[in-house]
Structure 1
Amino acid sequence: DTPLSNLFKLFASSQSFGRIYTGTKESDCKISNEMSRVMSNYHRREFEIIEKYYQNISIGDILNDILMEGYNEKV
């Protein structure tokens, strides 16, 4: 069975291109200066955690869940 992590890596970006972080490096505010870097690091770690979680789920598991939902609706 194919782990769901393979699909996750294909469709989700490990880089935070899709997120907009406020702040600017030119600001005198330390938080504004570092916001983009820190949030990008958080996003990278979030990606790694989710990828690891999906390694334990296969496409077959998803199919079984779908079939069981249909079975439970009929019972």
Structure 2
Amino acid sequence: MNLSFNIAIHVLTFLTKHSNERFSSDALAEKVCVNAVQLRNVARILKQHDYLDVHRGQAGGYQATKKTASANLGELYLLFTEGRDKGRIFTGDHDSSCEVSSQISTTMAKHFQQEAIRVQAYYENFTIKDILEDILKEDK
């Protein structure tokens, strides 16, 4: 999981709840509690995959599409995690004379890959609509 994935879920859930409204990037960023640049970077990807609409001009803004509420979290997870730089997550050095140090990253990479598969499979069971329903239940 990463911040972009969480921003995407938050944005899509908020827009689903307010599906008949449009929000500027500044207004939406304030609602999502991130800066407008972070929001626009995530929204650009969501727009490319038709998860939200962007309307230009004075009455413009971001708005939910017919696809927003049914957006699958597993697909969103892949969209915002696959191929993303996660920084250094493994220790060791392949050139080390220490057997553990030279092999630990290869071994842990296999486990990391299995973890990612399981996390993605977990999220496959949920949509944005499910997230909104959970939030509304908790609010009561």
Q: Does the pair score TM above 0.5?
A: yes
Give the aligned CA root-mean-square deviation in angstroms. Answer: 1.9
User: Identity percentage over the alignment?
Assistant: 37
Which runs of 5 or more structure 2 residues have no equivalent in the other structure? 1-69
Q: Which structure shows the bigger proportion of residues in strand conformation?
A: 2
Aligned counterpart, 1:57: 126
Query: Structure 1, residues 15-36: CA drift from partner, whole Å, max 9, x if none?
Result: 7742332211221211111111
- 1:6 paired with 2:91, answer no
User: Which stretch of the first structure deviates more once superposed, 46-55 or 8-17?
Assistant: 8-17
Which runs of 5 or more structure 1 residues have no equivalent in the other structure? none
Partners of 2:95 and 2:109 in 1: how far apart? 18
Partners of 2:139 and 2:86 in 1: how far apart? 38
Aligned residues: 71
The one-letter code of the counterpart of 1:7 is L
- For normalisation by structure 1, the TM-score amounts to 0.79
Partners of 1:55 and 1:35 in 2: how far apart? 30
Aligned counterpart, 1:33: 102
Highest relative contact order (Cα 8 Å, sep 6+), 1 or 2?
1
